[in-house]
Amino acid sequence: MDALKNCIAGGNPSEDTLKNYVSRIQNFLEWCHNNKIYPMHVHEQHVILYRSHLIDQKQKAGTINNKLTAIRKFYHIAQKFALIVSNPVEDVKAPRDPDADSVSLQYLTAGQIEYILRSITVEDEKTLRGLVIIFFMALEGLRTVEIYRMSIEHIDQEKKAIKVIGKGHNDYIYPRDDTFGLLIKYLRTKETYPIADAIGVPVFTSTSNNKTGCRISRRNIRTAVDGILATAGVKVPGKSCHVLRHPYVKNRQKIFDTMPQQKPT
């Protein structure tokens, strides 16, 4: 486990990343066991057979690519320890996505994001929470996991800075005034008292009866975002939070120019 951890994400992978790598490698090792193939005797042809097995299971090209990447890393480590001479996955690629040329990736435009932000009516704690999450994703570029991990102790109100606990790295961001103002408004006006957990005192908390005050789950963050996108009529089939962050990454200045600073009401 330590050897794998040291060889991915610059030696500092997130818990989810490490878990996904381990799961994909374990799946391959189980396949080897079921087919009576000793993992350290695997050749390229065996990996091709495994790829065919994944294709027969109707797994998507992206999923297969992720699995091959994990297995490739596994054998890279085996090479480092002189357990094998060459990496059998080195030249094995995932199948080409048959829809790659016919279907382009769909993301929201800066205008659509502006429409979403202006169309959300804040009626209660839950809708205000959703608006703040959308602001952080669309205008500050935060990922779902970074929203999930945000804690009270990460917020410096004097400097208007927030420590973001990301995927293998931690950074400070200095949000727009309207984003930061909405966050403070949410924290000061919400009725649910946050319950501390292993990460800290959560910023975004659940409003459901059995989880009131607990850190909102990543699944529920995605569900909340999906609901807002659907209400605004801009839900992209098969996509969720990433459609908000992608325009930020690609068109940061355009979004900032389109969406002027607003004062929290």
Residue 100 in domain: no
pLDDT over 80 at 109, yes or no: no
Residues 114 and 196 in one domain: yes
Residues 219 and 150 in one domain: yes
Average pLDDT over residues 21-41: 95
Of 182, 211, 219, residue with least CA distance to 194 = 211
Which of 24, 58, 80 terminates a domain? The answer is: 80
pLDDT over 50 at 140, yes or no: yes
Residue 124 in domain: yes
pLDDT over 70 at 248, yes or no: no
Element (H, E) at 163: strand 161-165
Residues 119 and 248 in one domain: yes
pLDDT tier at 122 (50, 70, 90 boundaries)?
confident
Residue 58 in domain: yes
Lowest average pLDDT, out of 175-179, 186-190, 201-205, 260-264, goes to: 260-264
Provide the residue range defining the domain that includes 38: 2-80
Find out whether 65 and 20 touch, Cβ atoms under 8 Å: no
Report how far apart, in Å, the C-alpha atoms of 16 and of each of 8, 12, 137, 151, 248 are: 12, 12, 20, 19, 23
Residue 198 in domain: yes
Token pair for 246: 């992608």
Find out whether 144 and 222 touch, Cβ atoms under 8 Å: yes
Separation of alpha carbons 123 and 239, rounded Å: 26
CATH code of 251's domain: 1.10.443.10
Token pair for 245: 């962050």
pLDDT for 187: 94
Domain count, the chain: 2
Q: What percent of the chain has pLDDT over 70?
A: 83
Residues 136 and 17 in one domain: no
Residues 132 and 218 in one domain: yes
pLDDT for 245: 65
Which of 61, 80, 99 terminates a domain? The answer is: 80
Average pLDDT over residues 112-124: 81
Average pLDDT over residues 74-90: 92
Residues 168 and 56 in one domain: no
Residues 153 and 219 in one domain: yes
Residues 122 and 165 in one domain: yes
Residue 96 in domain: no
pLDDT tier at 31 (50, 70, 90 boundaries)?
very high
Residue 63 in domain: yes
Sheet holding 161-165, edge to edge: 155-156, 161-165, 170-173
Residues 181 and 233 in one domain: yes
Residue 249 corresponds to which amino acid?
A: V
Is the whole model's pTM more than 0.75, yes or no? no
Token pair for 135: 């602001």
Which of 80, 101, 133 terminates a domain? The answer is: 80
Residue 221 in domain: yes
pLDDT over 80 at 238, yes or no: no
pLDDT for 255: 41
pLDDT for 103: 42
pLDDT for 1: 64
